[in-house]
Amino acid sequence: MAINLSIPLAWTKAGADELNMLQCLQGNILKGHGRRFTANLFFRLDPAKTLRSRRMLRDLANFHISSAYRQLLDAQRFKETGQGAGPFVHLALAAKGYQALGLASSAPTDPDFRAGMKAPASLAALHDPAVSDWEPPFQQEIHGVVLAAEETASLLGALALSLRELVEDGGGTVAFVQHGASLFNAAGEGIEHFGYVDGRSQPLLLQEDIDTETAEAGSSRWNPAFPPGDRPGEGSGHDRCGELWKLLRVPKARTGGQGLQDPRAGDRGSPRAGRAGA
């Protein structure tokens, strides 16, 4: 049975095809990973060591990367028992990362993705500063980013170190590590660095999250439902979600075990985030 992307996904009632998709899709796409501490390891691969790099990515996929389904199960367990979900790992590849792996023909064909974030059109569209004004590590060529997340800073430190060693053993070089930590207001709500409550007016792709949001905040002024297959301006009409639509439709790049999806999702030291690329 084909997956219906014209309606939000009810993952707790998912059929066989939907479960397979959730098990092959990385976490942190359909909803945020929810951990308090993060480390983003931006790396470069050595084109002369493609076999080592591919083995490294296979090991990441098989033993570290969290699937969307595992993330949802862990989140449900946390809500029911308060038990922490443990480590979370996500991989994003840039177009130049595919090239360094000798897999340029397998890269997503989206022209913006292939051009990279240093392309003049990208700089203009995102209102980014000139590349020469970026933080020095990001002026270099970046092939991908590994997002590591944990519940405590000490646990994250150990996780990030093990992932760094894995990347370096695979012939890669970690160009920069960007750390993050959740912020909370007096009411215990997660907030953005400028003070707004995090996640408000967020488009929601899972029916369970939509039901919770509408029960708590209503939907008369904002309908959070966003079917995964919607194009901007169609269906629910969330024009601001065009980037999300494109991200969810990026083809998969399999390296064995779980698939490595979402080659554009990642953070960088620029005002806008969303693609790992240079």
Residue with the two structure tokens 């620029």: 270
Q: What is the pLDDT of residues 28-72, one digit of tens each?
A: 989 889 899 999 999 999 999 999 999 999 999 999 999 999 999
The predicted pLDDT at position 180 comes to 93
pLDDT in tens, 74-100: 988 888 888 878 899 999 999 999 999
Cα separations in angstroms, 207 against 10, 12, 140, 201: 5, 9, 41, 15
Q: Please report the pLDDT score of residue 228 as a whole number.
A: 82
Q: Tokens at residue 100, please? A: 């360094």
Mean pLDDT by runs of 10 across the 278 residues of the chain is 83 90 91 92 96 94 92 89 88 95 92 94 95 95 96 96 96 95 88 79 87 86 81 42 35 33 33 33
**The pTM is what?**
0.78
pLDDT of residue 231: 53
Residue by residue, DSSP assigns the chain as: ----TTS-B-GGG--HHHHHHHHHSBSSSSS----SEEEEEEEE--GGGHHHHHHHHHHHHHHTPPBHHHHHHHHHHHHHH------EEEEEE-HHHHHHTT-GGGS---HHHHH-TTSHHHHHHHTPPPGGGS-HHHHS---EEEEEEESSHHHHHHHHHHHHHHHHHTT-EEEEEEEEE-EE-TTS-EE-TTSPBTTTT--B-BHHHHHHHHHHH-SSS---B--TTPPTTSTT--GGGHHHHHHHTSPPEE-SSSEE--TT----SSS--S----
Known active-site residue 211: yes
**Whole-number pLDDT of residue 6:** 86
Choosing from 74, 133, 211, 262, which is the catalytic residue?
211
How confident is the model at residue 83, as a pLDDT? 81
Find the distance separating the first CA and the last CA of the chain, reported in whole Å: 39
